[in-house]
């Protein structure tokens, strides 16, 4: 568990001259990437530094050989709990976890206490975000007052205060007339409406996927049609005004089919999927371990297959974590008494890499589209986030070690909560460094990267250059 600090991470400031030596942008050829004043100043074929005389006298050269260089990740869907739920997460601890997962930007859902449903609360979240330096946190405004689904929140005023995405996530807006008004206002102000698709009367008190698992456990069923109805309704309503509808945490084959149909009409509909819905099925929920209780519930093998197919063919636009931290005490309950939700910021990159590899090959450019470029566009921050790796662009990066075996239960975690659904999974891709506007916000020295003069005790410099390489000293970095 991390300390609640708003101080700038002590990983070194790269706003001066710096070279990331030997990185592989999008998994391509080894490249030396020069950073100056928070931007990419040059990208050149990697130099041979073995003779120790190629570094310019003023350059700090960071040994990042064979690390995959990606645009900083963007998460459209996190629950940071502050204000009101700080026992589970704070903006600072959530942002620190985000940095450890390769994220430079995250969107914080509105279901806090109080709810983020007016411009003053939008500004309050932005102010709290500025007090930490790990990731940029963008507040999501509520669609309805108090998430009650009855009265439209002041979307226009919140948009003027800086909100770009609106959602009642955690709840569905069931009232069609309210949603129709929301889409009209959203179209007028060019903002995104993100819907948690769950028809209340049909889903009821559902706890697990309807079917064999609900029957075997005796837990109340959550039928997939409750998701389908809302997606179809909202696609039609959004199309009336040309408003942008974004579907949160798509979970079924039927939902994929509806989104595919809506897109075929040329309607502005986008959709996300979570890492856990790409990797886990409802069979694991049959264990009745609340660790696997999530909303929407884990679905069937066939649903997971459809989600993966949609990830590859572009029907699904983005991966979003739905990072939902809860205290150990709240999760350690009978299934029906435990809250829905799983954390996911620190494992998302590893899961997505695993899934793409399992689907026939890990294409790092597609990975970047799903986790950075497209989420930034949907969240309307593409002018500064999710930017391509090119000269002149902001230095926002995730550095991934593609040969690093690790498990969440044996690695240091930075979220205040520990309710991961992947505690003992063995992953082979790990984020070992994150850079936001030229400054390292996360460094995992155990993962093969070390930076910064102030970390010289954990690093050693080659004798004839300013190259910094990871120390081999035991215990240089504790998990």
Distance in angstroms (rounded) separating the CA atoms of residues 441 and 343: 20
Using alpha carbons only, what angle is made at residue 151 by residues 149 and 155, rounded to the nearest 5 degrees? 100
Biggest CA–CA distance in the chain, Å, is 71
**Does the annotation count 10 as an active-site position?**
no
- Other beta carbons less than 10 A from residue 137's beta carbon: 23
Distant-in-sequence contacts of 333-341, Cβ < 8 A, 24+ apart: 333/290, 334/290, 335/207, 335/217, 335/219, 335/288, 335/290, 335/293, 336/207, 336/219, 336/220, 338/290, 338/293, 339/293, 340/293, 340/294, 340/295, 341/79, 341/293, 341/294, 341/295, 341/419
- How crowded is the C-beta side of 240, counted as CA atoms within 13 Å? 14
Nearest to residue 346, comparing CAs of 262, 266, 418?
418
Q: Phi/psi at 76 (nearest 5 deg)?
A: -75, -10
Do 75 and 107 touch, CB atoms closer than 8 A?
yes
Read out DSSP for 143-180? SBGGG-SSSB--HHHHHHTT--EE--TTS----HHHHH
Residues facing residue 398 across a β-bridge: 70, 434
- How crowded is the C-beta side of 361, counted as CA atoms within 13 Å? 4
Do 158 and 138 touch, CB atoms closer than 8 A?
no
Do 315 and 267 touch, CB atoms closer than 8 A?
no
Provide the 3-class DSSP secondary structure of residue 300. Answer: coil
Tell me how far CA of residue 103 lies from CA of 71, 126, 147, in angstroms: 9, 17, 27
Do 236 and 310 touch, CB atoms closer than 8 A?
no
Provide the 3-class DSSP secondary structure of residue 236. Answer: helix
- Other beta carbons less than 10 A from residue 193's beta carbon: 25
Annotated catalytic residue, options 322, 401, 444, 446: 322
Nearest to residue 96, comparing CAs of 131, 50, 62?
131
Distance in angstroms (rounded) separating the CA atoms of residues 227 and 199: 6
- As a whole number of Å, the end-to-end CA separation of the chain is 10
Distance in angstroms (rounded) separating the CA atoms of residues 403 and 396: 22
Catalytic residues: 322
């Amino acid at each position: 568990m991390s300390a609640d600090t708003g101080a700038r991470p002590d990983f070194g400031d790269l706003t001066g001259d710096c070279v990331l030596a030997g990185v592989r942008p999008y998994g391509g050829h080894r490249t030396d990437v020069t950073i100056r004043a928070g931007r990419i100043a040059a990208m050149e074929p990697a130099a041979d530094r073995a003779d120790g005389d190629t570094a310019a006298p003023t350059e700090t050269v960071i040994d990042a050989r064979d690390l995959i260089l990606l645009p900083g990740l963007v998460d459209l869907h996190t629950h940071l709990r502050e204000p009101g739920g700080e026992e589970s997460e704070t903006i600072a601890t959530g942002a620190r976890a985000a940095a450890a997962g390769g994220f430079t930007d995250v969107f914080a859902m509105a279901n806090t206490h109080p709810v983020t449903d007016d411009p003053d609360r939008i500004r309050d979240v932005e102010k709290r975000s500025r007090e930490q330096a790990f990731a940029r946190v963008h507040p999501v405004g509520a669609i309805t007052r108090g998430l009650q689904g009855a009265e439209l929140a002041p979307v226009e005023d919140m948009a003027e205060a800086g909100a770009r995405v609106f959602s009642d996530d955690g709840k569905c807006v069931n009232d069609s007339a309210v949603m129709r008004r929301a889409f009209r206002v959203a179209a007028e102000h060019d903002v995104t409406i993100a819907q948690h698709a769950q028809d209340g009367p049909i889903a009821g008190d559902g706890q697990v996927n309807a079917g064999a698992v609900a029957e075997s456990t005796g837990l109340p069923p959550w039928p997939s049609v409750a998701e389908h109805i809302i997606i179809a309704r909202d696609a039609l309503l959004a199309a009336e005004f040309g408003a942008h509808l974004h579907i949160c945490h798509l979970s079924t084959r039927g939902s994929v089919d509806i989104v595919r149909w809506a897109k075929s009409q040329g309607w502005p509909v986008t959709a996300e999927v979570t890492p856990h819905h790409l990797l886990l099925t409802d069979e694991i929920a049959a264990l009745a371990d609340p660790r696997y209780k999530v909303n929407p519930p884990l679905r069937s093998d066939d649903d997971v297959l459809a989600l993966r197919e949609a990830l590859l063919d572009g029907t699904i636009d983005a991966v979003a974590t739905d990072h939902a931290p809860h205290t150990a005490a709240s999760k350690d309950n009978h299934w029906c008494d435990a809250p829905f939700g799983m954390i996911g910021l620190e494992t998302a990159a590893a899961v997505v890499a695993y899934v793409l590899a399992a689907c026939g090959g890990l294409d790092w450019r597609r990975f970047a589209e799903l986790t950075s470029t497209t989420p930034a566009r949907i969240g309307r921050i593409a002018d500064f986030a999710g930017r391509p790796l090119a000269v002149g662009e902001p230095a926002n990066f995730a550095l991934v070690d593609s040969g690093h075996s690790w498990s969440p239960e044996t690695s240091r975690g930075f979220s205040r909560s520990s309710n991961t659904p992947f505690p003992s999974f063995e992953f082979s891709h790990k984020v070992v460094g994150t850079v936001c506007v030229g400054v390292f916000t996360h460094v995992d020295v155990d993962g093969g990267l070390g930076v910064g003069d102030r970390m010289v005790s954990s690093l050693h410099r080659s004798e004839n250059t300013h190259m910094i390489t990871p120390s081999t000293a035991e215990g240089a970095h504790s998990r």
